[in-house]
Amino acid sequence: MKQIKFIFTGPPGAGKTTAIATISEFPPVSTDVFSTDGLSKLKDTTTVAMDFGQITLENGQKIGLYGTPGQRRFKFMWDILIQGGLGLIVLIDNRRPEPLKDLSMYLDNFAEFIEQTDAVIGVTCMDIKDTPTLDDYQEFLKERGQIYPAFAVDARSKDDVLFLLNTLLTCLETS
């Protein structure tokens, strides 16, 4: 059975590496290095190449989980990692100043990929900052003419991350 490939993306600090580590059945391959710029005020390390993990579904289907670096200067890695991918999970950190603008940036940069596959959106840290609300996210997507499921998630919660994965799988099956 061929491995399905899902890609996690989103701004730095949104929880991509954490989410993959939460559900991967083996310790994920990570390429985290020390942050040397302003990001270090938020977190000590940053992903500069990719995260890789894997999960096996009940029917034996393996899903490869690939995490991208968050910074736009690593866009070349985004283009490499989406090759052969079947779906995108966008994690947005609600604590950031303009999360909707962040979402817009990632949807724009992955537009071609999403058009051929599908996407779900996970909004992290809504317990710390609850605006924009999920309704705001849906309204924003509607204005863009896009419909993707958006949920509040905790990247450290296995149930939450699996829920995102299952939602994406369902979207792919029904599209």
Partner 1 sequence: MKIKKGKLASFFGFKSQNQEEPIEKNDLPSIDKPIDFGEDAHTGRPAFTDPVIAAFIATGHVADTPEDLSESSTKTEDNRSVELEEQATVAGSFNEKVADIDLETATQEPDMDYENEEHLLVSFSKEQLALSENQLDEFMRVCPGAYGVLISTVDGHELLYLVKRDIPIHKISTMNSSLLALGESIARESSQKLCQFVILENSDGRVVSLRINDILMLTCISSKDTNLGMLLSVGRNTAGDLMKILS
Rounded distance between C-alpha atoms, residue 56 and residue 129, angstroms: 33
Shortest separation between residue 7's beta carbon and partner 1, angstroms: 16
CA–CA separation, 37 vs 174, rounded Å?
43
Q: What is the CA radius of gyration of the chain?
A: 15
Residue 77 binds to partner 1 (criterion: CB under 8 A): yes
Q: 112: how many CB neighbours lie within 10 A of its CB?
A: 9
Segment 86 to 105, residues that bind partner 1, using CB under 8 A: 95-98, 101-102, 104-105
Residues within window 106-165 making contact with partner 1, judged by CB under 8 A: none
Q: Nearest distance from residue 69's CB to partner 1, in Å?
A: 8
Torsion angle, alpha carbons of 120, 125, 131, 135, to 10: 30
Structure tokens at 116: 């051929």
Q: What would the x/- binding string for partner 1 be over residues 35 to 74, using CB under 8 A?
A: xxxxxxxxx--x-xxx------------------x-xxxx
* Least distance from partner 1 to the Cβ atom of residue 97, Å: 5
Rounded Cα gap, residues 67 and 16, in angstroms: 6
The residues binding partner 1 (CB under 8 A) are: 11-13, 29-43, 46, 48-50, 69, 71-74, 76-77, 95-98, 101-102, 104-105
